[in-house]
Structure 1
Amino acid sequence: MSLLSFLGRTLTLRNAYNERGQNFWSLFGGFESWTGKAVTPDSVMQIATALACIRLTATTVSTLPVHVYRESPDGSRQRIPDHPMAVVLRQSPNADQTPAEFLEGMVACTMLFGNAFALKTKTAGQVRALTILRPDLMTVRRDPNTYALIYEYADPRGRETYTAEDVWHLKAFSLGGDLGLSAVQYGRQAFGLALATDEAAARTFANGIKPGGFFISQKPLDAPQREQARKALVEPMQGAENTGRVGILEGNFTWQSVTMPLKDAELLASRGLHIQEICRLMGNIPSVLIGHTGEGVTAWGSGIESLIRAWLTTGLGPLLGRIEQSATRALLAPADRGKVWCEFARDGLLQADSEARGKLYASAAQNGWRTRNEIRALENLPPVDGGDVLTAQSNLLPLDKLGTLVGAAQRDPATSEEDIRQ
């Protein structure tokens, strides 16, 4: 890249950041935190807790099936597997990504930047492909004359301007503005503290878990003696590989420690606290889902199941609804709006819980809101004869009528339970 191109791109990005209410320093250094650590999306991804939260949410959303429905005249809904929106979201969003990879990227960008963008490729008014655009290279503003949204995208290849009809803009939680709020920006104090404590712990182990301090000499040293002391005393005692090494102090040297021991500083405990903070920032994710349990807490049992259900209700559920509404609004042709919509198959969240899945299917079959073949289709099983009839469990029959209904139905399928009662 030439110098002029670099300067042009820098000024473009500077304007983009300034229009978002961020200062020029954040372009190169990230968001400033009280700890002095620069917080950027890249540095946040280096925090194990943040990476685990983003990966868990993105992969969970990306593995749920997406269905497209149309409302029938009788008020029911009908699946449309060959609708262009269904093809894009379920089969092939673009030439380079699978549907899971595409949704993972959109969700991850939303969690990190507060916004995710995808360029729409249309044919005859229908969206046929979606290509993810980097949020850090996107500027969102409004035309001063028409007040219409304008999306300006600047990358090393040049600068492009798009309208709202050209871009699918998925926003995170916001205050009603044109952009979603970034968890990295508004949670930078918690992330900065996590980065600082991680660095402090790493440097402590790099020094062999030995406290810092001074070698004190009984008399002043000249320059050659200082260099000799550094090579003989300081360098051989540093590093985790030298832990436990025995040293010899010559020339009236003594050792004076100047830092608190690791236990007194409670460094490890403070590192554990930022796990809970980051889990809250990333969508109320129970820490047990990313492999962290508190003292005396097990990763199994009914209590953990309740935490998982709470996350599915208060954390993942609202995110799925946000994606459904945004996709329905942005990816449909004008003629389909208000008649067609997309939904995630939330039943997929029960795939790992065979007991809950069995209870749901039993309720569906016994109460007549799903047929046996519909249930078998959810389990990837072939249909069976007679499985397309809605059935309901009969209750409160007179004792002298027990078994009569089954016998009568076998003789005459048109016989109803009311006929048997009479």
Structure 2
Amino acid sequence: MLNLTRPWRALRRAPPSATSASATLGTPPIHHKASRAARLIQLDSGGMARWTPRDYAALAREGFVANAVAHRAVKLVAENIAALTFLASAGGTPLDRHPLLDLLARPNPRQDGAALLEALVAHLLISGNGYVEAVGLDGRVRELHVLRPDRMRVVPGPDGWAAAYDYTVAGRTVRYAQQGTLPPILHVALFHPLDDHYGLGAIEAAAVAIDIHNAAARWNKALLDNAARPSGALVYAAPDGAVLAEDQYERLKSELEASYQGAANAGRPLLLEGGLDWKAMSLTPKDMDFLEAKNGAAREIALAFGVPPMLLGIPGDNTYANFQEANRAFWRHTVLPLATRLCGALAHWLAPAFGDDVRLEVDTDRVDALAADRDALWERVTAAPFLTVNEKRAMIGFGPVDDGDRL
């Protein structure tokens, strides 16, 4: 729970050097704000990352690191976006070469363009936030670097917008003031209905399903370690109401630990004597519908990331025709919308350095999964006798040609 008592008192406390009567009596000084909501925004944010129940480290460990379904979903989206080819245009005219394309192809000495985009998209899906730093020299943008979102904190300004970003590593903090023609930090945030500065990652929306899936995997592992048997109890029912002696109890416990526990003792029969009876104390996997619960959680994880379940190997209608349709839907509804948004954000951010009319877009003609859609478009355009050559070329994304304004 956020404690507003200490910051509110700190805000109202007079400076130690004040000698006025108001400071002596503890009367709060008058503060003038540019916005009525600025004080509340400053107190609520304070330059600190605000995560709903789970923080970035926990989400990354339990989701991306420890869960195979979420890991593959993140990799599938990030790697496909990183493998895309991008086109640049200026004033609506497609360009074969552009300095912005060269920068995206080789953003820094340690990464190529695919590695930078993969890291950016992975951070977006895990935390809902992606940060890119622009490094300039002699008035030109020379390098781009992706920064970890768990180390970045938004510092709101008087108007409520981000005035700066604090990046903390090993106890050192660097402040990036969002000033100048080209701000040094690009912050891409997925939509969050309850936060003004930070985005909502897909892995956080799938946190409950991820916990169920991980718990099922741990339960299965523990069951295998315990000779693939559920837990139970040995009940001693002597006819005369007698109980086991201390040495009998210790001998029985040591024999169970040495001869019947562990995967190496799987399948060994349990020999009971002297009125002992085995009573199971937990539900069997069949009673729990173990596999269906685990597959249901996996489907919810895939749904949160926008990945069709069959692309992740989750059991279902995994026929070849369904796989083709699922792959096409994955590209239409997940990969291309996110890639288009990143193109718009990068072009808008870097426009002061490369021209206000520069645009970035995805070259969909090189996406094999959309080949059927492209062939259908070409057939429709070719069969339209009422369109000129240049109109047909414009419909499929090509520029005009001389003498093309004819039927």
Bin for the TM-score computed over the shorter chain: 0.7 to 0.9
- Distance, in Å, in 2 between the alignment partners of 1:305 and 1:256 is 50
Mapping of residues 94-113 of structure 1, within 5 Å = 94-113=108-127
- Distance, in Å, in 1 between the alignment partners of 2:234 and 2:324 is 55
Q: SS state of the match for residue 333, structure 1?
A: helix
Structure 2 counterpart of 1:79? 95
Mapping of residues 159-238 of structure 1, within 5 Å = 159-164=173-178, 165-175=183-193, 177-217=196-236, 218=238, 219-221=242-244, 224-238=247-261
Structure 1 counterpart of 2:271? 248
- Distance, in Å, in 1 between the alignment partners of 2:138 and 2:352 is 9
- Distance, in Å, in 2 between the alignment partners of 1:18 and 1:207 is 49
- Distance, in Å, in 2 between the alignment partners of 1:18 and 1:93 is 28
**Match status 1:346 vs 2:348:** no
Deviation at 1:266, TM superposition (A): 0.6
- For structure 1, the residue ranges without an aligned partner over 5 or more in a row are 1-14, 31-38, 376-387, 393-415, 418-422
Residues 192/216 of structure 1: CA separation in 2 closer, same or farther (3 Å cut): same
- For structure 2, the residue ranges without an aligned partner over 5 or more in a row are 1-43
Q: Given that residues 122 and 128 in structure 1 are in contact (C-alpha distance below 8 angstroms), is that contact kept between their aligned partners in structure 2?
A: yes
Deviation at 1:315, TM superposition (A): 2.0
Deviation at 1:263, TM superposition (A): 0.7
Structure 1 counterpart of 2:33? none
Structure 2 counterpart of 1:327? 346
Structure 1 counterpart of 2:15? none
1:143-179 CA distance string (max 9 Å, x none): 3489542111111161111123111222223348322
- Distance, in Å, in 2 between the alignment partners of 1:327 and 1:308 is 27
Structure 1 counterpart of 2:308? 286
**Match status 1:48 vs 2:68:** yes
Q: Given that residues 16 and 138 in structure 1 are in contact (C-alpha distance below 8 angstroms), is that contact kept between their aligned partners in structure 2?
A: no
How many percent of aligned residue pairs carry the same amino acid? 22
Segment drifting more, 109-118 vs 210-219: 210-219
Aligned length: 344
Amino acid at match of 2:74: I
Q: Given that residues 126 and 332 in structure 1 are in contact (C-alpha distance below 8 angstroms), is that contact kept between their aligned partners in structure 2?
A: no
Deviation at 1:58, TM superposition (A): 0.5
- Distance, in Å, in 1 between the alignment partners of 2:160 and 2:201 is 27
Amino acid at match of 2:93: R
Residues 333/317 of structure 1: CA separation in 2 closer, same or farther (3 Å cut): same
- Distance, in Å, in 2 between the alignment partners of 1:224 and 1:212 is 24
Segment drifting more, 207-216 vs 183-192: 183-192
Amino acid at match of 1:298: N
Mapping of residues 302-313 of structure 1, within 5 Å = 303-313=322-332
Mapping of residues 16-27 of structure 1, within 5 Å = 19-22=48-51
Q: Given that residues 141 and 353 in structure 2 are in contact (C-alpha distance below 8 angstroms), is that contact kept between their aligned partners in structure 1?
A: no
Amino acid at match of 2:79: T
- Distance, in Å, in 2 between the alignment partners of 1:191 and 1:390 is 59
**Match status 1:121 vs 2:121:** no
Deviation at 1:43, TM superposition (A): 1.0
1:167-210 CA distance string (max 9 Å, x none): 12222233483221133334422222222222222222222321
- Distance, in Å, in 1 between the alignment partners of 2:378 and 2:295 is 41
Residues 330/271 of structure 1: CA separation in 2 closer, same or farther (3 Å cut): same
1:312-339 CA distance string (max 9 Å, x none): 23222321121111111222325612x1
- Distance, in Å, in 2 between the alignment partners of 1:134 and 1:115 is 9
1:117-159 CA distance string (max 9 Å, x none): 1221112433221112111111112134895421111111611
Segment drifting more, 158-167 vs 328-337: 328-337
1:204-227 CA distance string (max 9 Å, x none): 222232121012234544555444
Structure 2 counterpart of 1:273? 296
TM-score (norm 1): 0.72
Deviation at 1:253, TM superposition (A): 2.9
The CA RMSD over aligned residues, in Å, is 3.3
Q: Given that residues 67 and 214 in structure 2 are in contact (C-alpha distance below 8 angstroms), is that contact kept between their aligned partners in structure 1?
A: yes
Segment drifting more, 357-366 vs 184-193: 357-366
Deviation at 1:59, TM superposition (A): 0.7
Amino acid at match of 2:340: G
- Distance, in Å, in 2 between the alignment partners of 1:162 and 1:207 is 54
Amino acid at match of 1:172: L
Q: Given that residues 142 and 150 in structure 1 are in contact (C-alpha distance below 8 angstroms), is that contact kept between their aligned partners in structure 2?
A: yes
Structure 2 counterpart of 1:63? 83
Residues 182/18 of structure 1: CA separation in 2 closer, same or farther (3 Å cut): farther
- Distance, in Å, in 2 between the alignment partners of 1:370 and 1:19 is 51
